[in-house]
Amino acid sequence: MAPYVTIANAMQAIQLAHEDGFSGIELNEDQLHCLVQVKPNCLNLMREYSADKHMVNSLHRTLFRPSIDSENQGERKEAVEYTLKTLDYMEAAGILRMVLHSFSDLPAFFNPKAERADKVAYFLGCRVVKGYGILAPVLKAYRQMRKEKIEASFMQSLAEIAKYAADKKFDGKPIEIAFEEHYSDAIDYDNISYGKGNFANVIRGIDTAHQLIRTGQNTNLSKISEPIHFHAVDTNGIIDDHRTLGKGKVNFENSISDIIERKLTNTIIIEDSTRNSALKSKEMLTSMIKKMLNMVSS
């Protein structure tokens, strides 16, 4: 959604993504809510257009407070209720996957209030997100100190969201929840029971930039066998600056190779900040995948 957020609403973004040669788009939760308020029928239109163009769309949960990991139960419940309403919208629009972090840290002040983001506000918001990287170690240390309580709040929220999503169906399939890693998180991702029990519809979310910033290492998928949601994102290794693929420090070859070899996912999400950058990244990624497929078949 990011490359189109100032020029298009959620419905128009789907159309632009199709015109740009993408097989789907990851929408912004807040932008979807804004559009529904002014154009309630947009959900049916999104569902019909996506089906007609064979597009597979996902949605990224908000980065703005209130947060689903809040120790304040009032705030946590408010955040969960907002997300459950989103799942209702997703079912109506035929969006089968929600991506979320364990928290939402950004001030609500920057949350978009219209179906298209204001250019000035969006520019300032992007700077806030990039500057957030400077505070990340402090926030991670805080979460580490309060790990037990914060993680308990998040796990309660995740269970509630996953249960509600499991009852939301499209083409007979429940909505999936992709729990995505973050560089200022203190959660042990390996302790989540992906695809099992109460989390039967929860999958692991991988972000190559977050992984590099968080660990100093490139993404290693060699020990993962379950389905994943994969964000191919480049970075300078310090902040999440959403560079054109190949312009940062992320090495994509091993992770893409593992995805192909073990069929971990059939979609890869590009998270560039501009439309031109997204198109260049798509070209780079397509070329890399074609070379790997040729090597496998030869």
- Domain extents in the chain: 2-297
> In this model, does residue 241 exceed pLDDT 80?
yes
Over residues 170-199, the mean pLDDT reads: 93
pLDDT digits 0-9 by tens, 2-40: 778 778 899 999 999 999 999 999 999 999 999 999 999
Percent of the chain whose predicted confidence (pLDDT) is above 90: 74
Find the length of the chain: 298
Of the two residues 295 and 257, the one the predictor is more confident about is 257
Asked if 184 contacts 139 with a C-beta cutoff of 8 angstroms, the reply is yes
Q: Which pLDDT value is given to residue 122?
A: 61
Say how far apart CA 267 and CA 228 lie, in whole Å.
Answer: 9
pLDDT digits 0-9 by tens, 84-140: 999 999 999 999 999 999 999 877 766 767 777 666 566 666 666 666 667 777 888
pLDDT-based confidence at residue 53 (cuts at 50, 70, 90): very high
Percent of the chain whose predicted confidence (pLDDT) is above 70: 91
- Kindly report whether the peptide bond that precedes residue 112 is cis, defined as omega within 30 degrees of 0: no
Q: How many CA atoms lie within 13 A of 290 on its CB side?
A: 6
pLDDT-based confidence at residue 158 (cuts at 50, 70, 90): very high
pTM for this model (two decimals): 0.93
Q: Which pLDDT value is given to residue 113?
A: 72
Please state, rounded to an integer, the average pLDDT across all residues of the chain: 91
According to the 3-state scheme, what is the secondary structure of 162-189?
HHHHHCCEECCEECEEEEECCCCCCCCH
> In this model, does residue 55 exceed pLDDT 70?
yes
Q: Which pLDDT value is given to residue 294?
A: 86
Asked if 35 contacts 68 with a C-beta cutoff of 8 angstroms, the reply is no
Say how far apart CA 75 and CA 130 lie, in whole Å.
Answer: 25
Phi, psi of 230 (to 5 degrees): -120, 120
Range 2-297 classified under CATH 3.20.20.10: no
Say how far apart CA 84 and CA 68 lie, in whole Å.
Answer: 12
